[in-house]
Structure 1
Amino acid sequence: MLCALGAAVCFGTATVLQAIAARAAAATGPGGDVALLWRALRQWRYLAGLALDGLGFVLQILALRSVPIYAVGAALAASLAVTAVVAARLLRVRLSRVEWAAVGVVCAGLALLGLASGAEGDGAGPAWLRWALVGAVAGVLLLGVAGGRLPERGRALALGLGAGLGFGVVEVAVRLIDGLTPAALFTNPAAYALLLGGGAAFLLLTSALQRGSVTTATAGLVLGETVAPALIGVVWLGDRTRPGLGWLAVLGFAVAVAGALALSRFGEAPVESADRVAARK
């Protein structure tokens, strides 16, 4: 659970650092995506954000190999609370009382989950589940194509949901990889689903944040990466709670996800505040 929380801290902090660096790069002059990326990569904040993303991914994998998927998914959604707190400190973003309350709600939900979560399930899942993950990636891409043609609000929700489902594929695939030798990886469809699902998720999330409401896209992301993977973990992979505490786990999961949804606007650091900080630096 500490690894899952550490991943949330890494992802949430990286969002703010990369927002500051990316907008500082854009302020130094015009250019295409490649030129802007190159200028961003020359800033320590962007590199620090990438390093935190990498560390967060490692911690996420470790957590998924140790605790149930539902606990890890809720903890990763809590990265929005981390982004909100870091943005309040570094970007001088003013959080409303409702948003501060949402941060507290997320923390309370995670505390309940920590108390109720059992060990990682030992189920290997049915053989078809690995191939189903590959099919799910294809479905995510089709959802992205269809969602890109919708009006703005519907587009952001569809793309965000698709990104969440892609990240959910990654969460489940990690549990279905039972060997790290080249032979084991090359013959396991879950390994391909992990790579394709992660790539598709990043693609759809980037498109969602650029072409629609950040709040709506992030809400779809949170729902997609938490609910479906949690159900798969419980139904097919043997994830359970501590004896007699199933109700507490359900409550903690619902509370943490609800708090994250209330903080959906922090799916991307606020533009104006980031621009002011970048200008000062």
Structure 2
Amino acid sequence: MTPGMVYALAAAVCYGTASVLQAAAARDAEPGSGAGVDPVLLVHALRNRGYVLGLALDTLGFLLQVVALRSIPLYAVSAALAASLAVTAVVATRLLALRLSGAEWGAVVTVCAGLTMVGLASGAAGSGAGPAALRGCLIGAALVLLLAGVLANRLPERGRALLLGTGAGVGFGIVAVAVRLIDSFALPGLLADPALYAVVLGGVTGFLLLTSAYRYGPVTVATAGMVLAETLGPALVGLEWLGDRPRDGLQWLAFVGFGAAVTGALALARFGEPATGRRPPGGPGGLSRGRRG
């Protein structure tokens, strides 16, 4: 397994562990202004020490993710980060005394097997820079996402949860693609790179949408939308425009492994928020997933 894949898996461990801490705080926070993007809810959650500790783990995970994104293909990083749901599920059995069903343990094993296949098949990150307009498109997409989140409170519960979760996944996908597009992290050139602002805007937008998705609507719907959006989008961009390719002759292994990792993560979608504290309106108990920004 390459060092880049190790960094990606370490990031998944950070994110998955942060989930257990952040979700409980988000659920216990007082609601703010509405059921869409809710900055007031985020401010209330930040008063909880568990949420802040989760943010610290998210920050460490993001730094590890950046290193991984610069060294291995986007599809490999995406598959590894989808595994944070498996980490969340396993951590929850220890910290929250939750029990996994046989099918859920099978999903954890499927995720691990898929990641092993992806790791074996992955080569180095591609050297493509994508179309000239890609950076601007990422910024525009993040702004559209933010507007869609603001309007989400007009939708019925299930549609709202799907929009918020999918939007959060797209936001985190924007972050992943934009990190790959940054030419150099050296100052002052970094400050003039539009990709940096796509990272910030995509991360903040995704985090706002996901914090609201924690509280409003069915958690499994939101989590499924997020997993699909944040894995498939960056993977396709990497393959189409950034030159990401599996090792020669192992394309089939990368494809099967990616599919297994994402499918296993989707099977663990109920781990969207802990069944402790106050239940969100219309939302089932489960276990929520903290995310990066």
* TM-score normalised by structure 1 residue count: 0.88
1:272 CA displacement: 5.9
Tell me the equivalent position of 1:208. Answer: 213
1:23 CA displacement: 7.0
Tell me, in whole angstroms, the C-alpha distance in 1 between the residues paired with 2:27 and 2:204: 24
**Other structure's SS at 2:234 match:** helix
Q: Is the 8 A contact 2:46 2:52 kept in 1?
A: no
Higher helix share goes to which structure? 1
Tell me the equivalent position of 2:153. Answer: 148
**Other structure's SS at 2:133 match:** helix
Task: Indicate the RMSD between aligned Cα atoms, in angstroms.
Answer: 2.3
Deviation digits for residues 7-39 of structure 1 (CA, Å, limit 9, x no counterpart):
00001011113345667898xxxxx9656643x
Deviation digits for residues 140-188 of structure 1 (CA, Å, limit 9, x no counterpart):
1233234332111111011100100000000000000011234422322
Tell me the equivalent position of 1:127. Answer: 132
5+ residue gaps, structure 1, are 27-31, 276-281
Tell me, in whole angstroms, the C-alpha distance in 2 between the residues paired with 1:207 and 1:52: 20
One-letter code aligned to 1:229: P
From 203, 209, 229, the equivalent of 1:198 is 203
Alignment of 1:27-176 (within 5 A): 37-38=46-47, 40-41=48-49, 45-176=50-181
**Other structure's SS at 1:70 match:** helix
From 251, 255, 260, the equivalent of 1:250 is 255
From 17, 24, 28, the equivalent of 2:21 is 17
Tell me the equivalent position of 2:35. Answer: none
Q: Is the 8 A contact 1:15 1:269 kept in 2?
A: no
5+ residue gaps, structure 2, are 31-39, 280-284, 286-293
* TM-score normalised by structure 2 residue count: 0.84
In percent, how many aligned pairs have the same letter?
63
Instruction: Count residues with an aligned counterpart.
Output: 266
Tell me, in whole angstroms, the C-alpha distance in 1 between the residues paired with 2:167 and 2:45: 27
